[in-house]
């Protein structure tokens, strides 16, 4: 009798390889590390082959593991295609989207709400973070879709916008310009500091925060000026000739190599929404 390999075991096996550890894989497949370890043990028992070399916490594939990885990917691709074809319009799997804070308020209440109406059984997971972190999660197969910021010439750009200065006009009279910024890494922080230094304009950081809401409150309260796009505030940007010019920034959308049909539709909706901003 042929051996039947449950797809959840194959999915866990691939997740461990893709994420590089049991801990990261457990977050991706939504099981505990102990359960994940038992799944791999069960898979090895069914195959009667050792799939991983174990050196402390470090895992590396055996020759049998290398071969099994290739077939596991093929099996899971066919499995997911079959489910998508048979259940067209009845998507129920997780749709994982990451976005920078600038998009969150608008997209969470608009785009994701609309997607939830179209696919009420969908398990939506959203992650709000900086672009660098989101792209790392995408690379490790922990997100399906990422909306972020990049250089204006980025190949994944779906729209671009000018950076602008925001804040109280009276702050421009300060000999040393008060600056409000997000923590590093932040493309806007880097652009603001580089522009001021290139122009020889003295500045000091008066507010530094990881949170865009706090940054918005600080700027509105007159604690400092900042550099963002028109998505940042409803107010008009500063129109001040004494401030240096800023570069444009691209809004990017990147996706995992293969998406389920409904997740692909979510990516299309995200593209349309951001392109229209």
Separation of alpha carbons 25 and 94, rounded Å: 15
Computed on alpha carbons and rounded to an integer, the radius of gyration of the chain in Å comes to: 23
Strands 145-151 and 94-99, sheet pairing: parallel
Number of residues assigned to the chain:
277
Separation of alpha carbons 35 and 132, rounded Å: 30
pLDDT at 28 over 90: no
**Structure pTM?**
0.61
Check for a shared fold between 7-86 and 164-246: no
**CB of 58 within 8 A of CB of 23?**
no
Separation of alpha carbons 113 and 130, rounded Å: 22
Give me the DSSP letters along 148-190.
Answer: EEEETT-TTEEEEEE-EEES-GGGGGSSSEEEEEEPSS-HHHH
Burial of 54 (0-12, 13-18, 19+ CB in 10 A): exposed
Q: Which CATH topology does 94-160+251-275 take?
A: D-Maltodextrin-Binding Protein; domain 2 (3.40.190)
Q: What is the pLDDT of residues 253-269, one digit of tens each?
A: 999 887 777 788 788 88
Taking the domains of the chain in order of start, what are their residue ranges?
A: 7-86, 94-160+251-275, 164-246
Range of 92-96, 146-150, 178-182, 248-252 with top mean pLDDT: 178-182
Separation of alpha carbons 161 and 272, rounded Å: 16
pLDDT at 16 over 60: yes
Ranges 8-12, 23-27, 45-49, 137-141: which has the least confidence: 23-27
Pick the CATH number of 7-86 from 3.40.50.720, 3.50.50.60, 1.10.10.10, 3.60.20.10: 1.10.10.10
Helix axes 22-29, 33-47, angle to 10 degrees: 100
pLDDT, position 206: 95
**CB of 180 within 8 A of CB of 215?**
yes
Q: Which of 118, 72, 114, 112 lies closest to 92 in space, CA to CA?
A: 118
pLDDT at 64 over 80: yes
pLDDT, position 277: 66
**214-230 mean pLDDT:** 91
**171-199 mean pLDDT:** 92
Q: Which CATH topology does 164-246 take?
A: D-Maltodextrin-Binding Protein; domain 2 (3.40.190)
Helix (H, G, I), strand (E, B) or coil at 77: helix
């Amino acid at each position: 009798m042929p051996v039947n390999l449950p797809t959840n075991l194959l999915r866990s096996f691939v997740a461990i390889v893709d994420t590089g550890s049991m801990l990261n894989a457990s977050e991706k497949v939504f099981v505990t590390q102990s359960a994940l370890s038992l799944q791999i043990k069960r898979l090895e028992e069914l195959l009667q082959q050792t799939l991983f070399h174990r050196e402390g916490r470090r895992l590396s594939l055996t020759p049998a593991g290398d071969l099994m990885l290739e077939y596991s990917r093929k099996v899971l691709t066919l499995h997911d295609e079959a489910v998508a074809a048979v259940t067209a319009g009845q998507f129920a799997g997780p749709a994982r989207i990451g976005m920078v804070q600038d998009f969150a308020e608008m997209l969470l209440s608009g785009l994701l709400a609309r997607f939830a109406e179209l696919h009420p059984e969908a398990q939506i997971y959203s992650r709000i973070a900086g672009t660098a972190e989101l792209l790392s999660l995408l690379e490790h197969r922990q997100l399906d879709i990422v909306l972020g910021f990049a250089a204006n010439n980025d190949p994944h750009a779906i729209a671009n916008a000018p950076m602008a200065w925001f804040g109280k006009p009276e702050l421009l009279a300060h000999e040393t310009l008060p600056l409000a910024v997000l923590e590093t890494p932040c493309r806007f922080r880097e652009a603001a500091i580089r522009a001021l230094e290139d122009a020889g304009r003295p500045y000091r950081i008066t507010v530094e925060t990881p949170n865009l809401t706090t940054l918005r409150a600080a700027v509105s309260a007159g604690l400092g000026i900042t550099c963002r796009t028109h998505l940042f505030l409803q107010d008009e940007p500063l129109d001040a000739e004494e401030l240096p010019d800023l570069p444009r920034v691209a809004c990017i959308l990147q996706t995992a190599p293969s998406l389920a049909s409904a997740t692909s539709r979510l990516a299309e909706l995200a593209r349309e929404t951001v392109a229209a901003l």
